[in-house]
Amino acid sequence: MTHISSSLRPPHRHLPPVYSPVSLQSITRGLGQLARLGGDPRPTLRALLRREYRADQVVLCGSGTQALTLAIREAGKSVDPSAPVALPAFSCFDVATAAMGNKGARISFYDVDPSTLAPDRASLARVLEAGARVVVVAPLYGVPLDVGEIEAVVKRYGGVVVEDAAQGHGAAWCGQPLGAVAAISLLSFGRGKGWTGGNGGAVLTRGTEAPGPELSEAGLRSEATTSVGLIAQWSLARAATYSLALMIPGLGLGETVYHSPQRVRSLSRVSAANLLASHEAAKREGAVRRANARRINEILDSASDVELIRVPASGVAGYLRFPLLMPHRNRFVNRSDVGSLGVAASYPITLNALPAVAGKTTGPETAWPGAEKLANRLLTLPTHSRLEERDFLALEKLFRGHRG
């Protein structure tokens, strides 16, 4: 192992794993909405999303998880509401939360190809043959999937695809942004999603009716909490101050926890105002992530014991984080000099292993080797604009000096 000198990594610096632009201007806009100054910004946000994501209808929700719950519910109505929902066996825990948010939900897990993070086609076919009709595909870390090809397979079984583009900001497939590819898509505006309103999500539909009835409002207390969270995010999302954020338990930073389903509510006016004010900054940040990912890719190209995730030729990865596989991930990330560089393990277990889904699963699959490999070996690196030259030098020393 190579030691990283303190000149490259001062002890008070701790890179955040992800970063979404939040400015004083966007916070001020949100606080204005908290005081109900000015008109409701949500119609403007809906129009923006319709234009940029080629959507016929947009429903704004209180979170990306709520948006996925709503998307699954409405997709089921167009096929067979009693059929199992097919989920990737490896993904964010909130994917399982969203499926569980629909009463009487049954879940069938398909395996994931660890070299691409895409569905394992043979496993998905078996799940469809066994009766699943709504298939959720979730491009992790902004690594694009061939959603069109997946949709063609699913349609042969009379099913429908839900494109969960929660981590897709800045990524594209065949020239279209992730979230604009399938007939039903969703976005997430959580704090770590590249473009943030503090929280929030959106369901986008094409060629189909808008999902669901009018959603209830979040309320002023919830909007105030969102404002406080955005202020904390702005003040603490720097390498020099992020270590302070890690000491605040309520922020839940660095935790991978299953959350119980919540009632689907509307996006708040505060979140919408922040999203509109930070829209261009988020686009610029996406370009920085892609550029930094190219440099990280060059650093890792000659590193030993590292497997890189393949990006399809027709796709552009958004690299919310940079994913890679290592044979001894846990031993690596537990080193004291690794965490301060923003290096982190991915989701620690497969979704089928979550206690919350016990008794809700069905389907032909009894083993998910690809997902298990990812749960044991996937590691992520930061790509955001908070990286400095000394951080790239430290990463280079770290990985080129690594020998398992």
How far apart are alpha carbons 197 and 268 in whole angstroms? 9
Q: What is the pTM of this model?
A: 0.93
Q: How many CA atoms lie within 13 A of 256 on its CB side?
A: 15
pLDDT at 210: 59
pLDDT at 329: 83
DSSP letters spanning 206-222? SSSPPPSSPPBP--HHH
One-letter amino acid identity for 221? R
Q: How far apart are the first and last CA of the chain?
A: 8
pLDDT in tens, 285-312: 999 999 999 999 999 987 878 999 999 9
pLDDT at 209: 67
How far apart are alpha carbons 304 and 294 in whole angstroms? 18
List the structure tokens of 76: 């089921």
How far apart are alpha carbons 141 and 160 in whole angstroms? 23
pLDDT at 241: 80
Q: What is the CA radius of gyration of the chain?
A: 20
pLDDT at 248: 63
Q: What domains are defined for the chain?
A: 24-400 (3.40.640.10)
pLDDT in tens, 359-392: 999 999 999 999 999 999 999 999 999 999 999 9
List the structure tokens of 261: 């389903």
**Residues of the chain scoring pLDDT < 50:** 1-10, 403-404
Contact predicate 121/99, CB 8 Å? no
What 3-state class would DSSP assign to 155?
Answer: helix
How far apart are alpha carbons 164 and 129 in whole angstroms? 22
How far apart are alpha carbons 94 and 102 in whole angstroms? 13
Closest CA to 279 of 394, 388, 189: 189
How far apart are alpha carbons 404 and 398 in whole angstroms? 11
Residue 14 CB: number of other CB atoms within 10 A? 21
The structure tokens 């063609």 sit at 152
